[in-house]
Amino acid sequence: MAAVVVERVGWRAVIEDAGRPGFADLGLGAAGFADRGSAKLANRLVGNAAGEALVETLFGGLVLRSVGAVLVAVTGAPCPLALRSGDDTVGGRSGRTRHPAMYEVIQLADGDRLELGSPAAGLRSYVAIHGGIAVEPVLGSRSYDSLADLGPAPLEPGRELPVGEHAEGWPLVDAVAWPDWTMPAGAGAPRTVVLDAIRGPRDDWFEPSSLSRLDGGAFEVTNDVDRVGVRLSSGQPLERRHSRELPSEGVVLGAIQVPADGHPIVFLADHPVTGGYPVIAVLTAASVDRAAQLVPGQRVRIRLRR
């Protein structure tokens, strides 16, 4: 049976699929792909169902070795790829190295190593394997939930990932166009990310001036970035109209929650299912994916809609 062996992990790499919805009443979130669009595209490239399990890696550094022949595709944060032939381990022959592209189908022969460098933009890259990853599901999902510490453990060197038999067919295309957000903004011009959000449900808890500042104001991504959420900061905190405490209530993916310090937090895939701070707005589905690719120091502008 084909497999891939993890030879090196950069900052962090985990197995994710479409998630485990339906357990919020037990206090358990859905988890799943942080950037759903990139992950689903990787799966489609290799002929899998969109929600199949794959590897989500943080800021590159991942090295995978093929056991048997496998097909893979890498999407998400654009990083340099190196494919080193397994010939260097057979009979003393010199190995070959080529540099495949992101967003294309890549064929690995037995013993080949695929190396992911540091991305030029974004944070998370996705490696899909034709057939999926056949680790044991937990509560119906192969996703790792970092908040609940549930699901397949984060990857470590030496771990073997069996290739499943869950492909829907063979790849229909060799490559697809890169998304616009992966393109560099230009020399000396750091890209400002625009996130669309729907106002509410607790926008009436904030001063009108704070809502105006949120809508189109400049924010910066802090160092507090993980699968739970992204903390934003600006020169002036968002001010409430009410000083009373809010009873705990449900929190959804993409919610922009504002804690007591007035600096908003954008909730991502591993967010808690309840919270006691007011939610001023909720990101659209496409903007949730874009928020999952934010890096510390990046500039953000939120565009509010009703």
- The pLDDT of residue 94: 54
pTM: 0.94
* pLDDT one-digit tens code per residue, 88-137: 544 444 568 999 999 999 999 999 999 999 998 999 999 999 999 999 99
Burial of 125 (0-12, 13-18, 19+ CB in 10 A): buried
| The residue to which tokens 């290739």 are assigned | 163
Map tokens 């160092």 to a residue. 223
Choice among 74-78, 113-117, 132-136, 246-250 with the minimum mean pLDDT: 246-250
Indicate the burial class of 211 (C-beta count within 10 angstroms; 0-12, 13-18, 19 or more): middle
289: closest CA among 74, 41, 81, 7?
A: 41
Strand, coil or helix: 83 = strand
Pick from 84, 72, 78: which is nearest to 115 by CA? 84
When pLDDT is cut at 50, 70 and 90, the band that residue 306 belongs to is confident
Please provide the size of the chain in residues. 306
Triad 269, 272, 275: Cα angle to 5°: 135
**Domains in the chain, CATH or no CATH each:** 3-182 (no CATH), 192-305 (2.40.100.10)
pLDDT confidence bin for 246, thresholds 50/70/90? confident
Q: Is a pLDDT exceeding 60 seen at residue 187?
A: no
pLDDT score of 220 more than 90: yes
Average pLDDT, the chain: 92
Report the pLDDT value the prediction gives residue 217, as an integer from 0 to 100. 87
* Among 215, 221, 222, 216, residue whose Cα is nearest residue 200: 215
Structure tokens given for 255: 């919610």
**Structure confidence at residue 204 (pLDDT):** 92
User: What is the per-residue burial (b if ≥16 Cβ within 10 Å, else e) of 162-195?
Assistant: bbbebbeeebeeeeeeebebbeeeeeeeeeebeb
CB atoms under 10 Å from CB of 26, counted, come to 9
